[in-house]
Amino acid sequence: MGKRKNNISGLSRFLAEATKLEFSVESSTVTASTSQREVHPSGTVSAVVAEHETETRSDARPTKKVKLQAGLLGEGLEKYDATGLAPFYTEASQVPEHLQKYFSQRERYFSMYASGCLLDEEGWYSVTPERVADQIAERCRCGVILDAFCGVGGNAIAFARTCERVIAMDISPIRLALARHNAALYGVQDRIEFILGDFLSFARTLQNSSQRRKIDVVFLSPPWGGPSYIAGSPSKPQAAASAPALPPSSDDAKGVHAEFSLSSVGPIHGRELFHVARRITKNIAYFLPRNTNLDEISQLVAEDSGYGTNGALPAEKVEVEEEWMGTKLKALTCYFGGLVAGQEVMFEA
């Protein structure tokens, strides 16, 4: 009997090396409605600034799709192949019952899903729908963006279309490998630097480095506490092991939900996480549940030093963007610093 071949192709070496290092580096846009609101440090929402529809750009996606055959992405892309690390479902009968509601929306998550996009279980309920990711990426155009909790790569792929360079980080070598696989399907793997590591440790290392690399924007999409986040924050913070969830549209019709507190964000309190990111750059895009307490969001900038203190600079504003899929509100993206209209001067501050 011949020796059985490993299914994960060129990623076996990537994963083996990644698990030995604290930071392992591998180098390698259906319409979404949005509305913006300015939130002042006082906690009041001043007005609806805009409500528009984002049209799909003709150049938003590669015209050539890579066909998945025999576990391969295509000629020349074998080293990115993560086949075997997560199941690739082609019909609902193959999908575990608790994931079937997400599988029915697979092409909302990845328009190229049928070409071979891979998601682990956490990825199914945490990945940002592609059109929402495209909208956020358009707002975050810059030189270098750090996706601090990249998961299976939905946002990182969108950022690679609008930013010169993307740093995609995750603590899971499996999800990082899946993100790299999915990026290769979209043809953007060469614009993304994949780092296996913890964002908090990375931020400390970056702050203490004598040769600090410039990062223009940090995108925070931290764990929300799993699919149960919609029930609101519990008395104690939920476990940080689960990633943010965007439940299916059927969940959106149940009315008003309890407010979500930043105390339920992981791996640390959402307020502390924000301040860690602000030591890297003032320009933060914070992806949070649609039922997030906006008073807590306004307090983030009130607590941050530099703006709105001693009358030296005008009070900083936060812009809250509602992320819609059709008639369903899915999440909020809170923009800080130079990402806010009228505060562009802060981008280089």
Q: How do the domains of the chain map onto residue ranges?
A: 78-230+257-305+314-346
Tokens of 34: 């949005």
Bridge partners, 325 (sequence order)? 32, 328
HEC per residue, 6-61: CCCCCHHHHHHHHCCCCCEEEECCCCEEEEEEEECCCCCEEEEEEEEEECCCCCCC
**The predicted structure's pLDDT at residue 246:** 53
Q: What is the pLDDT of residues 8-32, one digit of tens each?
A: 444 544 454 444 444 444 433 333 4
**The predicted structure's pLDDT at residue 112:** 96
Q: What is the mean pLDDT of residues 124-128?
A: 95
Judged on CB neighbours under 10 Å (0-12, 13-18, 19+), 223 is buried
Tokens of 223: 């764990």
Cα separation, 345 vs 349, whole angstroms: 7
Q: What is the pLDDT of residues 187-205, one digit of tens each?
A: 999 999 999 999 999 999 9
Residue-wise burial string across 158-189, b where 16 or more C-beta atoms lie within 10 A, e elsewhere: bbbbbbebbbbbbebbbbbbbbbbbbbbbbbb
CATH superfamily of 78-230+257-305+314-346: Vaccinia Virus protein VP39 (3.40.50.150)
Q: Is residue 144 predicted with pLDDT exceeding 70? A: yes
**The predicted structure's pLDDT at residue 217:** 98
Tokens of 208: 């203490």
Sign of CA dihedral 43, 49, 51, 56: negative
Confidence class of residue 73 from pLDDT cuts 50, 70 and 90?
Answer: confident
